[in-house]
Amino acid sequence: MYIGVNGAISFTDPNMNFGGYFGDLSIPNQDFQTIISAFWNDLIFDVGLVPASGVYIYRSAANDTMVIEWFKPANFNLFGDTTTNFEFVLTRDGNILCQYLEVGNGGLNQTAVIGAAALECSARNHYSDSIPVANKVFDMQSVLFKSNIWDYVSGGDCNFDGTVNILDLNFTVNYIFRNGPAPVPFLLGDANCDSTPMQILDLNYLVNKIFRSGPPTCKFIIRH
């Protein structure tokens, strides 16, 4: 991915600016092929004012999670407004969480654009300067973009590779007895479809299916 100083990322566009500079952004737009904006605004990292300011990235392979934090960027148009702190939380389930510890003291939240779009898509911005102030983000708030991709899947396919086999049995044993990682989404561990994933009954069901020609695991639809 490509990360821009002005509070957005893209999976396709290496330049997250307009000719090297900040510019007004609307969603949907034709300026970027893909963009996910947490807090699009005219920002700058001024290490003279805040030496530790910058973009920080945390990745957890075990939890299929990445956090991208804009720590204390300054307001380009208001010297001394360095109290902004926000982040993306990206997870394998496709949801994107924008969290705002602080939104600055110079009114940046009044003009920030928060949204996601792809070229020629019908997505609309969630927040911008054209909507009521009641919908702006403030300190200690968050915005969740929920994925809308649906799949027809098999219960018990814990590693989500499209097949229920001994690898999923090992995954379940590891989770139940060795504090191993949980399937993502967790519902994949519901091999017997009793709405209680990753239990001993699911483990027994998998053993019966894999080694004793037992009944197939159930099917269901998930959004991810």
pLDDT tens for 123-158 read: 444 444 444 555 688 999 998 887 766 677 889 999
- Nearest-Å Rg of the Cα atoms of the chain is 22
Q: Is 39 in contact with 86 (CB distance < 8 Å)?
A: yes
Report how far Cα 67 is from the mean position of its chain's Cα atoms.
8
Distance between CA atoms of 179 and 160, rounded to whole angstroms? Answer: 19
C-alpha to C-alpha distance for 98 and 32, rounded to whole angstroms? 20
CB atoms within 10 A of CB 22: 19
At 80-95, the pLDDT tens digits run: 888 899 999 998 777 8
Which residues, 6+ apart, have CB-to-CB distance to 150 below 8 Å?
221, 222, 223, 224
Domain residue limits, the chain: 2-145, 150-223
Residue spans of alpha helices (H) in 116-180: 166-178
User: Can you read off the two tokens belonging to residue 186?
Assistant: 């967790």
Report whether 117 contacts 34 (CB < 8 A). Answer: yes
pLDDT at 64: 79
Contacts of 25 (CB under 8 A, 6+ apart): 8, 31, 35, 37, 40, 113
State the Cα–Cα distance between residues 82 and 8, nearest whole angstrom.
18
Q: Which CATH architecture has domain 150-223?
A: Orthogonal Bundle (1.10)
Number of helices and strands in the chain (H, E): 2, 13
**What tens-digit pLDDT sequence spans the chain (224 residues)?**
899 999 999 999 999 888 888 888 777 667 788 889 999 999 999 898 899 999 999 998 777 789 999 999 999 999 788 889 999 999 877 788 999 999 999 989 888 888 887 765 544 444 444 445 556 889 999 988 877 666 778 899 999 888 999 999 999 999 999 999 999 888 899 999 898 999 999 999 999 999 998 999 988 776 55
CB-CB contact of 202 with 156 (8 Å): yes
C-alpha 127/C-alpha 189 separation (Å) is: 36
- The closest alpha carbon to 40, from 130, 143, 88, 112, belongs to 112
* Whole-number pLDDT of residue 131: 47
